Structure 1
């Protein structure tokens, strides 16, 4: 059902990582010293675009359900940047085992907006929904919104509908998903902003190296981060960690709504899953991909509160 608009992605992490690992090490050894601090556009134009693969993957317009076996695979449906506009969707969200949402599910993080998003999540058939915040969900940022009892109430409402990750991990059938909401400093007025370089680097070093799916709000530089004026908004430090240490099979994100789509560097598949375009029109499609199960254990999470939340999903 709704086959023509679903994107299907398949890849082999083992085949590509072996081939490109030394290339990435050589690139970062020789190129990082050329990086002008805080200016990802300069780094992209002078180094990244000239020396690395940046292959855009065309969506598969005809989806073949015969490739999916629920006994051996987990189907993920990727979304982001819905901004409380889910009622305007003209197509149903495709079915899968796990829904991933990469942040900016509200306009400004107000309680009524969190409630509306949570009700939408509860209307979806996916057994597990995993959500992170984005910069628009600013009331979930403890640094920006120090009233802990209010923030806890907002997160509590979310947790009745989904698994909310904030610098934490969920494990589904052995597949490790790490969620983090932070972005490089934008204008200082939104949530989850970090200064480029030192603060970003410290935060990305917290990401476990055995992560299979990295769910972030920000893109890395060079993948799904091209703004309307052709500048780059992604994070250089995040790309460095992804390529040299984390090496996830997938990175799912949003934030830069004008550059949704799928790219690869030959090692990781990068998915900008924004569903609203740069004009805030909810006209973009989710992305669907399957992964092989690594175990039969359905779900483990990194905190007791998250596990308790699952019982209400």
Structure 2
């Protein structure tokens, strides 16, 4: 009797070892995937509140060629079934049941990204949002005013209010959520820059700093010139001189700008024409980056009142009109 019992026990242990080995092999073996045509991954959407069994069924329905009961058992036996997180995931070839569970428990969602570029206008931002991959276009039909209202910024002009950076998002996220993050990022960057402002700045508020920074951003992309350009504009603001900056005129022309700035354009008065009006324009004209924000609040100490593009991306700075005219003749007129 003892010999029979011992034989049964040995057989049971052997079976359990074999079963454990089979399970260990299976959970580490890549799952066969039914891949969509012209795609190297399959999408998996897990809705909030989905049970572990429901998750297993969703995995199979998405294209994983494994028995759902096996996945359900694996999730339960792992002790982590209740830790699975809802979200958007991608299953790539080579994904095993173990790797799948780890991804679901960690919430390693598939993230897309969108980059908002320094110097872009709000119209360009909206165009980029509409083209962004798998971003829900909830603002497409909304006016700029309604968008700002939904962002909790009723009555605020949208231009320049979003910080240029790369933002990641889960598939199916709202474009409004991306704008909210970008707006909060600009608030943070602007507050930080304003706290570092030079004591003698002619700027009276963070709003004015944002406006001036947007002009600096549009005037140059050369790092070495930003603070000097900020210095020129600060000097002009102190003296009450018109800023006379082309980017603001172009912005004020809107769709009437034909790609070339004409003399008549400089003479046409708009709230953004800094040739016909002194002081800053009423709003920013683009999205300034961090460097432009700092150049606005920490301008370089300079006596310069003028600058002109050299044609190589840099600018020539002048302290008076005679010097400036000579620079214009040299770099613009080629004399």
TM range (shorter): under 0.3
TM-score calculated relative to the size of structure 2 = 0.20
Q: Which structure would you say has the larger RCO, counting Cα contacts within 8 Å and 6 or more residues apart?
A: 1
Higher helix share: 2
- Of structures 1 and 2, the larger Rg is shown by 2
TM-score calculated relative to the size of structure 1 = 0.21
Higher strand share: 1
